[in-house]
Amino acid sequence: MSSAFDLALRAEQLGQLGRLAEAERAAREALAVDPENPRLLGTLSSTLLLAERYDEGLAVAEAACAAGPGLERPHRLRALHLSMLGRHAEAVQAGYAAVTIEPAEPAAAHGYAKVLQRAGRPLDAVRVATRVVELDPDSASAHLLLADVASDLKDRRHRELARREYETTLRIDPENAAAKHDLALLDARSRRPAKALAGLVQAGRLDPAMPQVLRTVVAVLWQLSWRVRIWLIVGTFPALAVAATPAVVVRSYAGFVLVATAALGWWTSRDLPRGTWPVLRRAVTTDRPLTVTYAALALCLLVYLSVVVTGFGLAAVAVWILLIALGWLAVFVRVVRRAPR
């Protein structure tokens, strides 16, 4: 029969492999042998944290704290469970207890930074995450943590810090899909949608099971559609202004709009990796309002094409109508999606 210590080691190993049911079983078997052991309680609590069973995990973490009040890990686990349950004030206290017990332990500081981040204290989180990097400079997860907490702050200095840290993470661990995804998100926020799309496709390749990649691609495509709408709104003013001029002028201007739109499209998509188009097509069809938006934008370009063919400048009014309708649609979608459920 395996000893409680063996079983705890096994539980931790299985937890690392994501086999949470087996890890939980091993941890509970170990606890049946030695129910007061804080290390075993910590192992079970950590497994429950990975399994997102925070209520149960918190109870076990509290038992671990009672069994070993001088140990750092039970306090850290308690803090993380409390944080996930939205009990931020208690979580911060527990996290602080963990770093007080072992100030030089990177895992303790890592947990505390996460707790501070979720508690809405990004500046403090950045300070603690910086300490994590100092304690463990070669760890990709330490740099990723600092990048994540820094990216929560909107100012330029922290954005630059986040970008540097994401890049360091990827230098240490080039296959880190989370870092790739988050860096792409940062690019999207910095209004670099093409770069963001390229990063997202690479993140998807590194970890195709990551569900948020396609959602982020949809968000970036909304951002791109906004750019195209702005360009078409701006472009339609002169189109209407020249509507009464000779047909050759009207045709030339409509042709210019089409060529400029194509050039903008090429400029945006020139660095996209191979195999991006199926992803974009899928993303557009996943989100119905986005499908409608891109269909309407394609219709706007068809209107311009008809102007090139017919020389009838007033047809550009249809572009205005379509863009106004799209504006309303975007407002409606935004309101509905931001409404609390």
Shortest Å distance, C-beta 26 to other proteins: 9
137-142: long-range contacts (C-beta < 8 A, 24 or more apart)? 138/172, 139/106, 139/172, 140/169, 140/172, 140/173, 140/176, 140/179, 141/110, 142/106, 142/110
Give 64 or 140: the residue with its C-beta nearer to other proteins: 140
Contacts of other proteins in 249-278 (CB under 8 A): 274-275, 278
Shortest Å distance, C-beta 8 to other proteins: 8
Shortest Å distance, C-beta 279 to other proteins: 5
Identified binder of other proteins from the candidate list 209, 298, 335, 336, rule CB under 8 A: 209
Shortest Å distance, C-beta 205 to other proteins: 5
Give 139 or 252: the residue with its C-beta nearer to other proteins: 139
Q: Does 89 bind other proteins (CB under 8 A)?
A: no
Identified binder of other proteins from the candidate list 16, 100, 190, 291, rule CB under 8 A: 16
Identified binder of other proteins from the candidate list 214, 242, 308, 330, rule CB under 8 A: 214
Shortest Å distance, C-beta 144 to other proteins: 11
Identified binder of other proteins from the candidate list 152, 167, 207, 306, rule CB under 8 A: 207
Shortest Å distance, C-beta 175 to other proteins: 4
SS (H, E, C) 35-57: CCCHHHHHHHHHHHHHCCCHHHH
Among 250, 251, 232, 229, which residue's Cα sits nearest to residue 240? 250
Identified binder of other proteins from the candidate list 91, 115, 133, 213, rule CB under 8 A: 213
Q: How many CA atoms within 13 Å lie on the side-chain side of 280?
A: 18
Q: Residue 196 — φ and ψ, nearest 5°?
A: -60, -45
C-alpha to C-alpha distance for 317 and 314, rounded to whole angstroms:
6
Q: Is 197 exposed, middle or buried (0-12, 13-18, 19+ CB in 10 A)?
A: buried
Give 158 or 215: the residue with its C-beta nearer to other proteins: 215
The SS3 assignment for 341 reads coil
Give 16 or 190: the residue with its C-beta nearer to other proteins: 16
Chain-centroid distance of CA 52 in Å reads: 19
Count of residues touching other proteins (by CB under 8 A): 30
State both tokens at 40: 């075993």
The SS3 assignment for 125 reads helix
Q: How many degrees, rounded to 5, is the angle at CA 18 between CA 14 and CA 23?
A: 35
What x/- string results for residues 105 through 144 when contact with other proteins is judged by CB under 8 A? ----------------------------------xxx---
Q: Which residues contact 15 (CB under 8 A, 6 or more apart)?
A: 23, 43, 46, 47, 50
Identified binder of other proteins from the candidate list 191, 282, 288, 334, rule CB under 8 A: 282
Shortest Å distance, C-beta 270 to other proteins: 19
Contacts of other proteins in 146-205 (CB under 8 A): 173-176, 201, 204-205
Residue where the block lists tokens 């300070």: 127
Shortest Å distance, C-beta 55 to other proteins: 24
Q: Which residues bind other proteins (CB under 8 A)?
A: 6, 9-10, 13-14, 16-17, 19, 139-141, 173-176, 201, 204-205, 207-211, 213-214, 274-275, 278-279, 282
